Structure 1
Amino acid sequence: MGDILNYLIWPFLALLLIVAVVIGILRKRRRLRELEGLAGRLGLRYTRAGGSGIHEKFGHFPCFVRGQRWRMSNTFRGEVTIAGRRCRVQMGDYRYREGDAESRGPTREFSYLVMQQPCGLTPDLGIRETGLLDVLAEVVGSEDIDFESAAFSRRFHVSCASRSFAYAVITPPMMEHMLARAPRYMSSGRCWWLCYEGEGLWNAARFERHFRWTLGFFERWPAYLLEEYGPPPARLAGFLAGEV
C-alpha cells in the first residue's frame, strides 16, 4: 500500500509544480501586456529591458542603494504638465540582491514611482504610514509633525526640517486626498518625489492609481508655494535613470 501511495503522490506533486510554474508564466505575460497598454493610456514610453542606472540617479532615496546588483525593468518614462509646468516622471520595477560582494543574500524586488515636483528645490519632506516603532517613539518624543486632523496624524508619520513647509503642503484638502488612497511611503529629495509601498510588484491598475494619485497630490499644492519656489530647475530636464 505504501509503495502505491508513493507511486501516486510523487507524480501528483510534480504535476502541481508544473501547473504552478505555468500559471506564474501566464500571469507574468498578462502583466507585461497590461503594462504596455497602460503606457499608451498615460502617454508614456515603456520598455521591458533592464538597466542599472537608477541607483546613480536616485541614490538619495535609501531604497535604491540597498544591497547590490541593482536592476530596473518594465520602465515607464515621460512628462506630465502640472500647473502649466513640465515635470518628468519615471516608474517601474526595481530589483536588488541583499548582502555585499562577499555574501550572497536573497533577491528583493518592488515597484516605484518618481515624479519631479512642479517647483524648485524645497525642504525634504517624508510622509509614510505610521508603524509600531512610530507609536513607541511617541512615548519618548519624536520628530513627527502633528496636524489638525486626528485621523491624518494617526495614520501618517510626517517629518520635515521645515514645519512651515510641511503645513503649507499638507492642507485640509491634501489630508482628504491622502486619507482616501495614499501610497504607504512618500519622500522628496532634489526636486523629486518617490512613491513606493515596500516589497512586491504592482499590477497595471496599481501603477495607474499611484500615477494619477501623485498628479492629484501636486495639483493640490497652493499656487503661492509654487510661485515662492519658482519653476523646476532646467538642468533636471533629462535627468532620468537610464537615459542618455
Structure 2
Amino acid sequence: MIFALVPPDHGAAIPALADSSSAAGMIGSILVIAVVVLIIVGGYFAQKKRAEQLMRFAQAKGLTYEKRNDAWANMDWGYPFGAGRAQKARHVMTGHLNGRPVVTFAHEYTTGSGDDRRTVHTMVTAIQIPRAFPKLEVGLEGITGRFARKLGFKDIELESEAFNRKYKIQCDNRKFAYDVLHPRFMEWMTAIDSNGFTIAGPYVVIHRTGRLKEQEIDANFAYISAVIEHMPGFVWANAR
C-alpha cells in the first residue's frame, strides 16, 4: 500500500474560533431579559397579593372592593383630578358609614415622558352628603393652592389672618365659603393642623399625597365626618 502526502490546501476555509466578546454580549442580553422578566413577574404577584390583602380588609369593614374603577378617577373634585394624564383609580372601596355613602381609593396620574416620566400617587377619601353645594377647596399652599390658581381660581381672604396664611381657599360662591368657614370652624381646623378638604356637589373629599394606606382609612372618614358636622345648619337649609 502506497501512502501519498497531500499538500495542504491553502484555499480551504479555516474553522473560526468563537468570538468571546460576542458570546459575552449574548450572555449579558440574556441576563438583562431574565431580570426584566423577573421584575415583571414579581410586580404582578406583589400587586395580586396587595389586592387580596385590601379585599380582605374591605370585607372586614363591610366595604365593597374593586381592584380598579377609573370612573372614580375622573370626578370633578379639584386636585389631583384633572392633573397630568392617564388618570387611574385603583383599590376602590365603597360602602356606607352612619348611613352615608363613602369611598376611598388610590388615585394615579402620569406626568412627563421618557426619563422624566413620573407617576403621582394620591389617596382619596370622600363621603356623600344629601345636599349639593358649590365647589369649595380649602388646601395648604403648594398642593391645592397652586393647582387651583392655574385653573383661574382666586384666593378668598377670611377674618382670621392665621388661617389665611396657612390655607388657600377657592370658591366661585364667596358667600358660601364665608358661611361654611365660620370662626369656630377655622379655629378647629387650625387646632388639629388640618390639611384641608374639598366640597364638590354632594361630596366632601380629602386627598393625601402617597399610596393608599388602609390604616388611615378610619381616621380619614372620621375627619370628613367632623368637617360635615362643623358645617352650620343654615347652610344645609339653604342648599338645593
TM over 0.5: yes
Asked whether the equivalents of residues 89 and 106 of structure 2 are also in contact (C-alpha less than 8 Å), the reply is yes
Amino acid at match of 2:110: R
- Matching residue within 219, 222, 227 for 2:229: 219
Change (3 A) 1:52 1:31: closer
Structure whose CA Rg is larger: 2
State whether structure 2 residue 239 is matched by structure 1 residue 229.
yes
**SS of residue matched to 1:210:** helix
Asked whether the equivalents of residues 80 and 89 of structure 1 are also in contact (C-alpha less than 8 Å), the reply is yes
CA distance in 2 between partners of 1:178 and 1:223 (Å)? 18
- Matching residue within 217, 220, 223 for 1:207: 217
CA distance in 1 between partners of 2:139 and 2:79 (Å)? 14
**TM-aligned CA deviation for residue 129 of structure 1:** 0.9
**SS of residue matched to 2:165:** helix
Aligned twin of 1:125: 136
Where does the alignment leave 5 or more consecutive residues of structure 1 unmatched?
A: 1-21, 136-141, 231-244
CA distance in 1 between partners of 2:107 and 2:95 (Å)? 18
TM-score normalised to structure 1 length: 0.62
State whether structure 2 residue 158 is matched by structure 1 residue 147.
yes
Across the aligned residues of Structure 1 and Structure 2, the Cα RMSD in angstroms comes to: 3.8
Aligned twin of 2:170: 159
> Runs of 4 or more off by more than 3 Å in structure 1?
28-41, 59-62, 65-69, 131-135
Change (3 A) 1:134 1:92: closer
**SS of residue matched to 1:63:** coil
**TM-aligned CA deviation for residue 51 of structure 1:** 2.6
Aligned twin of 2:86: 69
Aligned twin of 1:94: 107
**TM-aligned CA deviation for residue 127 of structure 1:** 0.5
Question: C-alpha deviations, 1:216-244, integer Å up to 9, x for none?
Answer: 100111112111114xxxxxxxxxxxxxx
Where does the alignment leave 5 or more consecutive residues of structure 2 unmatched?
A: 1-41, 147-152
**TM-aligned CA deviation for residue 63 of structure 1:** 2.2
Asked whether the equivalents of residues 68 and 99 of structure 1 are also in contact (C-alpha less than 8 Å), the reply is no
**TM-aligned CA deviation for residue 181 of structure 1:** 4.1
- Matching residue within 70, 76, 93 for 1:52: 70
**TM-aligned CA deviation for residue 29 of structure 1:** 5.9
Asked whether the equivalents of residues 51 and 91 of structure 2 are also in contact (C-alpha less than 8 Å), the reply is no
CA distance in 2 between partners of 1:132 and 1:54 (Å)? 20
CA distance in 1 between partners of 2:239 and 2:110 (Å)? 38
Name the structure, 1 or 2, with higher relative contact order (CA <8 Å, separation 6+). Answer: 1
Aligned twin of 1:115: 127
Change (3 A) 1:62 1:37: closer
**TM-aligned CA deviation for residue 161 of structure 1:** 2.2
Aligned twin of 1:6: none
Change (3 A) 1:36 1:167: farther
